[in-house]
Every structure is written in C-alpha cells, then in structure tokens.
Structure 1
Amino acid sequence: MKRATLLATAAAAVATIAVARWWRSTRATAPSEPAPPPRHAVRHLGRGARNARLVGVGARAGRDYALHRARRVFADAATRERLDTEFEMRTAEQVADALGHMKGALMKLGQMASYLDQGLPEHVRAALAELQHNAPPMSPELAADTIRRELGADPTELFLDWDPHPIASASIGQVHRAITREGRAVAVKVQYPGVEEALAADLDNVGLLFAGMAQLFPGLEHGPLVEELRSRLREELDYRLEAANQRAFARYYDGHPTIHVPEVLDRYSTRRVLTTELAEGVRWDEMLTWDQGERDLAAETIYRFAFGSLYRLHMFNGDPHPGNYLFRPGGRVTFLDFGLVKHFSAEEIQQFEDMIVAMVIDHDPAEFRRVCERIGLLKAGTAFTDEQIVDYFGHFYEFVMHDGVCTITPEYASETVRRFFDKSGPYGEIMKAANVPPSMVIIQRINLGLYALFGEMRATGNWRRLAEEIWPFVAGPPATPMGEAIEAWRARREGAVA
C-alpha cells in the first residue's frame, strides 16, 4: 500500500483521506459502517450521506488493516507478500465498489487513479479500472423511466430494438444499445437520476480538498481553480452541451483518415439523454495486446486529436481516459464522451505557444520564466534561478525537446505525477510556489492523463517532428505516412469548400 500512497492522496481524495485518518488514529473502536444503498438510491445521497459512506469505507479498511498486521506478525516472507497482495486487492475493490455506486465526481477520481501512476500494484489498478466503463449500473426500470420523461415514450416504443442492459456505465450516465425505427444502430447514453445532486455534494468536498492543498502548496490559488472545475463538471450534466461539442468535433473531423467522432442524433437527444451512432472497435485492454507498431499508430492518432484540436479548433476534450476510446487497426480511433470540453480563447492559445517557443524552440530560460510569471504559473520575484525553473518545467516538454525517436515510458508518466504532487522530492520548493491558472486546469489532463496512457502503450515516435507538424507557429511538413494522408484529406476539404 505504500506504493499507492502518493497517487491515492492526489486522485482518490476523500476516500483515501478517510482511510488514512483511521490508520493514524489510536482509537480502539471505529464508527459503525453504514449499509450500502440500493443501486437506484443515488438520488438520495446528499453530501452528508456520501461523506458517511466514504467514512464507512475508511472504517472497514482500518479494521481490515489491523487484522492484516496481526496476521503478518508470525508469517514468513512469502506469506507476508501474499497477505499484503490480498489486503491491497481487497481494499482497492472496496473503494472501487463504493465509488462505483456513488457515481459523480468521486467516481471520476477513482477512474483517474486506475491509470495515472504506473507505480501502483497491477492488481490495485485492475480493480479500479473497472470504473472506466463497467461501474455498477442503474436498474433497467430507472433507465426506461428517464427515457420516458425526456423523450415522451417508453424506449421499446421509441426504438425498433432496445437493450435494457447497458454496454457501458460510468460516472454520470450509462450507455444502451438500440436500433432506431429507421434501422440505424445507435448508442443511447442515459443520465443517472439524482446525479446532479451527487455531483454538487462532491464539488463541495473538492473545494475543501483544494483549500487543504493550498496550505501545502502556498503558491496555489485554489479559489479560481475550484471554480473552473465546478464550471466544467457542471457542464457535463447537460447533454445538450455535450451534443454541441460532439457535433463540432464530428464536423471538423468528418472523413479524417484515422479520427472518428460518432454522429449525434438530435431527434433522440435531450438534456439527460444523448443518442449517437453506434461505433465499432476494441477496448483499451485488447488494444494493449496488439503489436508495438499498431500501438504506436493508435498513440499517434490520439496525440494528433488532442493537440490538433487544441491548436486548430481551440477546443480540448478534457477526459482522456481508457474508456473513452475504441480502436481499430491502422491507427483508427473513435473518440467518445465530449462532456468535459474546454474552449480556449486566442489569448490563452498564445500563452501555450509562448511557453513552447521559449522552452523548446529558442531554449531561452529567462524568457520561459517571464512567460510563466506573466500567465500566473509562478509569482514574480521568487528566489529560484532560471535554470531551476527550466529544470522543473522542462520535464513536461522532454520528449519534444529534440529531433529523434523517443519512447514514452511508464517511468516518465509516473515522474510527471510526482512533479505535481510529491512536495517532499527534489522539486518540492518549486511545487509549493507554483500555481495552476484557471485556463490550465483542464489542460493538465494531458500531463496527468494522456501521458500516463502513452506510458502504458510505450508509445514510440519522433514526437518533435510530429509536434512541429501540428504547431501552427511552425507548420512543419508531414512527419509520418499518417500525416501525409491527413494533408491529402485537408486538401480535399479545402478544395470542396473553394
């Protein structure tokens, strides 16, 4: 469990705090554990009840830990290792089960914990990974009731065929297969009843969490950061906004060689129901069994989607986790879930460009420092040297710094997480002085999510040339065969418009 401490503190938030408090406690007794709510009771779990459920998880883990320590006392080394593994697995399953039933923002944190840090024991990550697309679903009756309220008829009347059992379930809604009366296969995302109240309760806890983090990291202005998170997460509750985002991405990438965004069917979509074409492809775990060449192509497509959308559309899909992709050979990737999308102003995009130019292209430490101070990443006048600042922030640009083939490793991804949260490490003082401006809150999902996925894929390529092709202030030539196909696609589009 020690290997999980850093990530759990950062990503499992309140649940981990409950467990940690018990471990530090010297009390002989623990609070009684509340009974788990029925699957349909998410609407009844307010802030107090959700906190009580988390405390219950902590109490149970604490009791298990006391028993676990007693069992280890007289065990040999091999038996202790087996007992440790069993305890880690049991605790991870308990946390995953609690967060899965609670839905909302806390379940999102559990999803992040499953892929952020490669240092987590594999069996722990596997337990949490179930939250990516296999969380406990709501009952078929509740899903049908939401369809009736939103679309005015029972799903069996609206659709030629309706599968009452979801094909995926996540933090805010679950997805059902259906066939329209016109014979089209679709995916119907149905929002959980009561999840809006659950999310509001979680956001109150997030505010308290970041207020506590501000004491550990004095440079962190937690107020604007929390408000940015509140705004983005509240937007996820309105599927009409998600539909608008998805339509914008689908229009732009229509006919793209490797990027596919499913079409939205407006007739079957409302604030709490979103219907799109049913996409095909394999899930993350199966893609990881493909050969390295295919994984590299998939990573290239994801990279192009993330940064191409940022610089060409000024939009970023801020939820890059394994459950949001479907893969086909040849680097073809379908992108799912556009609820957490950040729209950037031209000024904000310019800030990203200024940082890249100073750090990567010009190698100008003094200018990079000035940019960081101007946009609010660092306060002016700190005692750090320019070289110390570049040494810290340079890690995030490491694989595009030089022209050459580079593999993004699990160790690189784990180091990225540590540079955000491990204030006891060699960069602790800079971390405590650093800030996260509101415009960069969601974009940090690249550092904390996207690179973790690339590390698991061991994604390999000449990232510098790929980046220069994408960066509009460089506009380099196609860096790969995929880039050549994209250039041809873009030329056809521009010719059609002309």
Structure 2
Amino acid sequence: MSDDFPSSKFERGKIFAKTGLKLGTNYAKRHLKKAAGRKESKEESSRFHTENAREVFDEFSKLRGTALKIAQSLSMDQGMLPEEFTEVMGEAQYSVPPINKALARSIIKKQLGSYPEQVFSSFNTSALAAASIGQVHKARLKDGRDVAVKIQYPNVRETIQSDLGMAKILIKRFVKKGADLDDYFEEVESTLMEETDYIQEGQQIEAFRKRFSNGAVVTPEWIEELSTQKVLTMTFIEGKHLKEFLQTSPSQEERNHFGQLLWDFFHDQVVQRDTVHADTHPGNFLFTEDGRLGVIDFGCVKKFPLEFSNKYLRLLPIHMEDDIDKIRKLFIDLEITKENPDDPEKEERFFKFCMNYGRAFAQPYKNDRFDFGDPEFKALINRFAKEPPIMNEPRGSKHFIYSTRVHLGLYNLLMKLGAVVDTRESRKKALEVLEEIEEN
C-alpha cells in the first residue's frame, strides 16, 4: 500500500527529472565506453536495458496516472524501444499499488458529499483492483445491489499535459534524432482526457449495454446518481478473470466457448466501424458461471476516423490474397513504410518484416476454424513482436496506437486461453463491409 502519492505538478516533475537525469547519465556512460572501443556482449546489453527499464517503471509506479498509461502503451510498442523496455513496462498492466484507505475515503467524501459508510450500506475499504488512473472497491447500495466503485487518483486529469510533456523529453532519449512524436503524444493525450472523465465512461457503459447485453455479453449498469467525473459507480458483475479461470483447469470446450465470445465481441465492433473497446487486457474481461462474457471497463473506447478504419480493414484481404503491390501501396497510405526512404535497402527489409507480420495476423481468417493454442502460431507472433528490424523510430498512423492494442490484445487473450475459434461469420461480415467500401 502506498501512502506517498505525488499529486502536484512540482512533485511529479521532480520524479520525471530525477528519472531522466539518471537515464541520461547511464546512457551517456555507455556511449563513452562504446566510443572508447569497449565491445558490449548481447547479455550485457540486455541487462543494461532491463535495469534502466526497471528504473523507469519503479518511478512511474509512484506517479501512476499518465505515467503508467505511457508505460502501458510502451508495453505494446512495435519497434520504438528496446525489447527489455516493453517487457518491464508490461507490468504496468497489473502491478500497481493501491492508495491508502484514508485517501480513498476522502475522495468519496469530496466527490459524493459523504463518507462511503454513509453513501453505501457497505463498502470494502480494501481495493478490489488498482490500475493506472484509479482503483476499484466493492460496495452495496442501500437497495441491496452490489456495485463496483471506481475512484480516480488525485490530480490525474490535471497533470496529464505536464506529465506527457516530461515523458516526451524522457522518451526522446531512446528514439531516432529528429523523429516526430507529436501526433502520437497528441493521440495519447486526447484519449487520456477521455479516460479520466468518468461521466463519459458511464455514458459509454450505457451505450455498450444497449448494444451488446443480449445474453452472450454482459456489461454493468451505470449508477449515474452516485457518479461524478472522478468517482464511477456501476453494478457489480460476478465472474473470473482469465488467470483465475485457467486455474480451474477448464475443458477445451469451455476455452473454445469463451474464446468465441471474445472473438465475436471484437469483430462485431470492427465491422460496425463505430466505437471500439480499445483496452484489451485480461483485467477488463470476466468469464461468468452461466457462460457469458463480462466486459467491465469502458474508459478507453475509440472511434477511429472512417478513412483509417477502411484502410485498416483492407489489410485483411490483401494479406490473404498475398498481393505484394497492393500491400506495398496500402503500407505507404497507412504511413507504415516510406515511399522515398533515405535508406532503400533498410526500408525494404522493414517492408518485408511488416508484410510477413501481416500474413501471420491474417492466418486465423484463412480457414473456417483456427486453433490459437497452436504453439507454432504463438511463437510466430511473439517473434515478430520482439524482433522488429528498425529500432528507435515510430512508424504508422497515430491510430495504430490503439488499433494494434485491440488486435494484438485479442490474440494474446485467445492464445492464453488456447481457444479454437470459428472465423467464418466474422470473415464474411468483414468482406461484406469491404465490398460496400469499394462500391462507394
């Protein structure tokens, strides 16, 4: 439990500055050693990056908020940072200490007008879960309904801009000199502003409940009268997270069932080209006793521009057709590769890497059923994720930050489940949407 929560811009700035200074010193010393002719082994290089990544993660954990959201984004990175950084930053998905109980009570008092024991008939002061921008407590309404109460950490929203500014300075130490990060940071900033507005999240909960609560998918009900921009109350859904579910040694039939629900949930959103649940990590999904898929977090919901959505959808058929000329043109349109690169040979290697990665992602759609438990497929996806040929340079449209998070996150969930999924209906719907796009 953490009693020391830095919520002012000054306190947070000191931590960012300390981290940046430490990293800058470490990398400068390494550069001098290399310049002096000292060779570094692969093991030494890996250990160096891991130690520095741990330094960043430990400091970002104190900051929570924007800092940890950046860490989460880095864990999904596709070639901007060393592999060791993405592995350590992956801990931001689940290793966050809760704030102390007195602070949590005071936030509820300030936001809802009374302490939790007056507002609710019961309130568990121990956090059920703690994430980057808030933590969740279980409570019971006076009408007897169980609810989840999400409490936002102090000043998270107010420090987004300054945190991102300092994070950009920090990250520029790792990326190629002159690389333009502005679009990517603007995308993260606008998304974080939405994620820290719990009234907006409540509205998203209601929109998804109307759209998906049809028996197969269950979502919470927003308790609007007990919600503010910084406290969110919603009905509680009983179920097991992925890790708990797997500990029960489920049958292959059960794995396939929940895998199919996850697959269909995301493809229904993609083909509708409307809002998409864009935070695909295990903590946001529950497997219920009655066989439904619980979806419980709606902070990160994206509405991609239609032009990007259309191009992103086209990646599927051109990789299935294996039309290299079409792939090349679409990659340029999506800013993945450059039409007139400074180093054509290096760019061609990168193009082939991305094309083969796309082929791997298209594999599940090529047959009527696909086994995500296939160890060869898992090894293939992991190899591409860990071995991008171009380092230190962001590539692709800024919208890839969250579209990749959705797609890669879905595959990771299905691989952990070891599910066999029927892809016929989703493939048919996607191709029908693409036909409509081509006609228009």
Q: TM-score with structure 2 length normalisation?
A: 0.76
Shift of 1:53: 6.0
The structural deviation recorded for 1:378 is: 2.4
Flag the 1:142–1:44 CA change in 2: closer, same or farther, 3 A. Answer: farther
Distance 1:144 1:115, change over 3 A: same
Instruction: Quote the Cα distance in structure 1 between the aligned partners of 2:234 and 2:100.
Output: 22
Which one is further off, 89-98 or 317-326? 89-98
Partner residue, 1:344: 304
1:267 paired to 2:228: no
C-alpha distance in 2 between matches for 1:241 and 1:153? 23
Structure 2: segments with no counterpart, 5+ residues: 28-48, 435-440
Would you say 1:440 and 2:400 are equivalent positions?
yes
- How big is each residue's C-alpha offset from its partner over 1:327-346, in whole Å with a ceiling of 9 and x where there is no partner? 12565221122111111233
Name the residue aligned to 2:3: 38
Within 1, Cα distance between the matches of 2:17 and 2:301? 32
Give 1:139 shift: 2.0
Letter paired with 1:185: D
Matched, 1:324 2:289: no
Equivalent-residue separation in structure 1 for 2:74 and 2:375 (angstroms)? 14
Partner of 1:3: none
Larger deviation: 333-342 or 400-409? 400-409
Q: Which residue of 2 aligns with 1:355?
A: 315
Provide closer, same or farther for how the CA distance between residues 459 and 99 of structure 1 changes in structure 2, counting only shifts above 3 A.
Answer: farther
Question: CA 1:181/1:329 → structure 2, altered by over 3 Å: closer, same or farther?
Answer: closer
User: Which one of the candidate residues 148, 159, 179 is aligned to 1:187?
Assistant: 148
2:203 corresponds to 1:244: yes
The corresponding residue for 1:394 is: 359
Q: Any residues of structure 2 matched to 1:336-485 within 5 Å, and which?
A: 336-360=296-320, 362-381=321-340, 383=344, 384=348, 390-409=355-374, 412=377, 415-416=380-381, 419=384, 422-423=387-388, 425=389, 428=390, 435-463=395-423, 465-471=424-430, 473=432
In 1, the alpha carbon distance for the partners of 2:386 and 2:162 equals 24
Counterpart contact for 1:42–1:195, Cα < 8 Å: yes
Moved more, 154-163 or 332-341: 154-163
Q: Which amino acid aligns with 1:286?
A: E
1:267 deviates by: 0.6
Instruction: Quickly say closer, same or farther: Cα 1:256–1:40, change in 2 above 3 A.
Output: same
Q: Which amino acid aligns with 2:233?
A: T
Q: Which amino acid aligns with 1:238?
A: D
Alignment map for 1:77-116 (pairs within 5 Å): 98-108=59-69
**Aligned pairs for 1:152-167 within 5 A:** 152-167=113-128
- Structure-1 residue corresponding to 2:38: none
**Residue deviations 1:183-237, cap 9 Å, x none?**
2211111111122355444422442355455518x8x753212211121122211
**Identity within the alignment, %:** 26
**Aligned partners of 1:285 and 1:447: how far apart in 2?**
20
Task: Give the aligned residue type for 1:293.
Answer: E
Corresponding residue SS for 2:276 = strand
In structure 1, how many angstroms separate the alpha carbons of the residues matched to 2:408 and 2:112? 38
User: SS state of the match for residue 288, structure 1?
Assistant: helix
Q: Are the counterparts in 1 of residues 260 and 422 from structure 2 also a CA contact under 8 Å? A: no
CA shift, 1:38, in A, is 3.4
* 1:414/1:196 CA distance change after superposition, 3 Å: farther
| Deviation by residue 1:239-274 (Cα, 9 ceiling, x = unmatched) | 1121122221111012232x1111111111111011
RMSD: 4.2
> What's the CA shift for 1:469?
4.5
Q: Partners of 2:17 and 2:267 in 1: how far apart?
A: 41
Is the CA contact (8 Å cut-off) linking 2:284 and 2:297 kept in structure 1?
yes
Does the residue aligned with 1:271 lie in a helix, a strand or coil? coil
CA-to-aligned-CA distance 1:101-160 (integer Å, 9 cap, x gap): 32123334556788999xx99xx98x9887545632122222222222222222222222
**Structure 1 unmatched ranges of 5 or more:** 1-35, 63-87, 476-498
Structure 2 CA distance for aligned equivalents of residues 115 and 319 of structure 1:
11
Query: Separation in 2 of the partners of 1:402 and 1:235?
Result: 38
Residue correspondence of structure 1 range 282-293 to structure 2 within 5 A: 282-289=240-247, 290-291=249-250, 292-293=252-253
Letter of the structure 2 residue corresponding to residue 265 of structure 1:
I
Taking the TM superposition and a 5 Å limit, the aligned residue runs for 1:129-144 are 132=93, 135-144=96-105
Alignment match, 1:70: none
Counterpart residue type for residue 190 of structure 1: I
Alpha-carbon shift at residue 50 of structure 1 (Å):
2.2
More moved, 363-372 vs 243-252: 363-372
Matches of 1:53 and 1:308 in 2, distance apart?
46
